[in-house]
Amino acid sequence: MIKTSSPFLKSLLLGVCVLAALFSLGCSKSDNKTSKVLQAAISPSIPPFTFEENGQVVGVDIEIFKGFCESRGYTYNLKAYDFQGMLGAVASGQADVAFSGISITPKREEVMEFSNPYVQNGWDLVSVSKRNIHITDLSQIKKYSIGFPTGAVFMGYIENEWAPKGIYPVNKVKLYPSMSEALTDLNNGNLDLAFVDSSMLLTYVNKMKMPLVSSYQIPYADKLGFAFVKGSPIRDDFNKYLAELGPEKIQAMELKWSR
């Protein structure tokens, strides 16, 4: 029998313990990564980016986010909010990330961090086709009611571009919890025009068969991004994933979910 006091045995046991410790730490690190749960805030009424279809939340943003999580070994929880609540969740740290066609603006960048832009859109003022509203000059807009969700980037545009020039007063804007409520009022004749981006309009008309038309196109280039909590440890890796996808794949997703 070899005595436990043997220097060789002590060294051997020490080596085994060190290897075991290293292996344990390695497994722990890997397990932590694969078991990391990302809390995601969404507003599932923004097609083609995040919306409900046949009882499932689908869209461009969902497809991108799922692909990122699968490629990096994350799991996730989705929590639905109205648009303003979604932004508040990531700004306050209740969520790691928020996405649902979110525009990148300087004001929002003060309280959250954005991914690189993945989509650029124009804006439209839309109406129900039977109303036959066609705006040829901005001076005509005052006679119509305009609405959109609370917290939407459109308010900043009206505040900074239209209100100072006397084109449209801020106090006349109708605000809604989500785009669904705005579209309901639009359909029922309680709202004349709704602000949407061009991708949303394509989805409403082509995929959802809504009787909507563009009454006026806004000359604005809107850049969308995924919003992350300040100091996010995953934002840079998410940007790498967007680069791996490339613009062609993302554009194909946008066409897929808007037709």
97-125 tens-digit pLDDT: 999 999 999 999 999 999 999 999 999 99
With 0-12 / 13-18 / 19 or more C-beta atoms within 10 angstroms meaning exposed / middle / buried, residue 89 is buried
Q: Give the burial string for 141-170 (b: 16+ CB within 10 Å, else e).
A: beebebbbbebbbbbebbeeebbeeeebee
Output the pTM of the full model: 0.83
Model confidence pLDDT, tens digit, residues 213-232: 999 999 888 999 999 999 99
Q: Is the peptide bond before 48 cis (omega within 30 degrees of 0)?
A: yes
Which residues have C-beta within 8 Å of that of residue 169, sequence separation ≥ 6? 142, 163
Q: Is the predicted pLDDT of residue 19 greater than 50, yes or no?
A: no
Percent of the chain whose predicted confidence (pLDDT) is above 70: 86
Q: Residue 255 pLDDT > 50, yes or no?
A: yes
At 174, which helix (H) or strand (E)? strand 174-176
Does the pLDDT of residue 159 top 70, yes or no?
Answer: yes
Q: What type of residue is 216? A: Y
pLDDT for 12: 31
Measure the CA–CA gap between 176 and 213, rounded to whole angstroms: 20
Evaluate if residue 30 carries a pLDDT over 90: no
pLDDT of residue 219: 86
Mean local confidence (pLDDT), 127-133: 95
| 75/88 Cα distance (integer angstroms) | 22
Tokens encoding 57: 């939340």
128-132 mean pLDDT? 94
164-216 per-position pLDDT tens digit? 999 999 999 999 999 999 999 999 999 999 999 999 999 999 999 999 999 99
| CA quadruple 250, 256, 258, 259: dihedral, nearest 10 | 150
Please tell me the predicted confidence (pLDDT) of residue 34. Answer: 42
* Residue, of 11 and 149, whose pLDDT is higher: 149
